Amino acid sequence: MSLRKTLRTPGSLAILLVLCLLVTVFAISGGEYQMSPGQVLKTLFGQGEGIENMVIWQWRMPRAVAALLFGAALGLSGAVFQSLTRNPLGSPDIIGFSTGAYTGALITLTVLGGGFVATSLGALVGGLLTALLVYLLAWRNGTAGFRLILVGIGISSVLASFNHFMVLRAELDVAMAAAVWGAGTLNGLTWQSVIPAGILVLLVSIALLASSSRLQMLQLGDDLCRALGMRVERTKLLFVVLAVLLVAAVTSLAGPIAFVALVAPQIARRLAGGNKLQLIPTALVGALLLASSDLLAQRLFAPVQLPVGVVTVVFGGVYLIYLLNRRTVRA
């Protein structure tokens, strides 16, 4: 009881932040060139030697930073969609926006033969077009949350089949690269790719935090929000665009990483207590989940590195079964 009470105070943010830093240090210390956590900390504070600086800052740090930023982005995106739909299953990977971003990137990669920049733009356009399509199909004098989820699941299934078709039709080397990337992976990321995506994630996250009061109001119901003078559908569409931008930024570099957006908001609510939307705790929980999953992906079968999406699917699938079973028992 004492621990539970402690976690429901602002100290939970400090606990989550420390855990993120610890996981990051352990992730950076491992690999073919082994280093102790003490060596990692010394290097981070500018006291490392030449090879240690290169290994940490050039090879391992981009991946570690990407895990934290992308996990936070997925967590925030999941919080937005679960708030808009008022349903714990309202997640961009469940609704299909992650699949749509992957479709856009896949078309750019396999059909247009685009490079990194074109593939990133393709993921962004694919995610936004999928969000627009789901939004229009779910529109019936407004967008009810449950209808949005059902339409999204249907669109996601269609796009998933199309993605498989595109991979099968592609050349062998392109198909293999697309298949590995489609599992969700942080392997091979560099500062040149992480920095632009990180800037987009930070800007969108700041915009979400600045407008969090409106997102809180939407949970009170559409009628009450209209009575208070809010333009409900325009506000919902704005939040959908911001959340899809976060998903597309992650997908353009790492592929569709499943279940982090689904799980992070739920864990954050339980840690912070109450039913109030918790954006900052959700971002930290998402960062911790993805960083921890990537650490397991690197270490479980070392020196072979798994795509991080394989790990998140395993743990996220277990949580989804628990969530569905809990809602069935309540019903």
Q: Higher model confidence: residue 242 or residue 170? A: 242
Q: Structural domain tally of the chain?
A: 1
Encode pLDDT of 137-195 as tens digits.
888 766 666 778 888 888 988 998 998 888 888 888 878 877 777 888 898 888 998 99
Q: Which domain holds residue 77?
A: 2-330
Is residue 253 within 8 A of residue 193, CB to CB? The reply is yes
Average pLDDT over residues 18-32: 89
What is residue 1's predicted lDDT score, i.e. its pLDDT? 44
Average pLDDT over residues 307-311: 89
What is residue 329's predicted lDDT score, i.e. its pLDDT? 56
- % pLDDT > 70, the chain: 92
Alpha helices in the chain (DSSP H): 2-7, 11-29, 37-44, 50-53, 61-85, 92-95, 97-110, 116-137, 145-169, 172-182, 191-210, 212-218, 222-227, 232-254, 260-272, 279-299, 308-330
What is residue 330's predicted lDDT score, i.e. its pLDDT? 57
Supply the pTM of this predicted model: 0.89
Encode pLDDT of 79-117 as tens digits.
998 888 888 777 888 888 888 888 988 888 888 776 677
| pLDDT band at residue 38 under the 50/70/90 scheme | confident
| pLDDT band at residue 64 under the 50/70/90 scheme | very high
User: Which CATH number do you get for residue 224?
Assistant: 1.10.3470.10
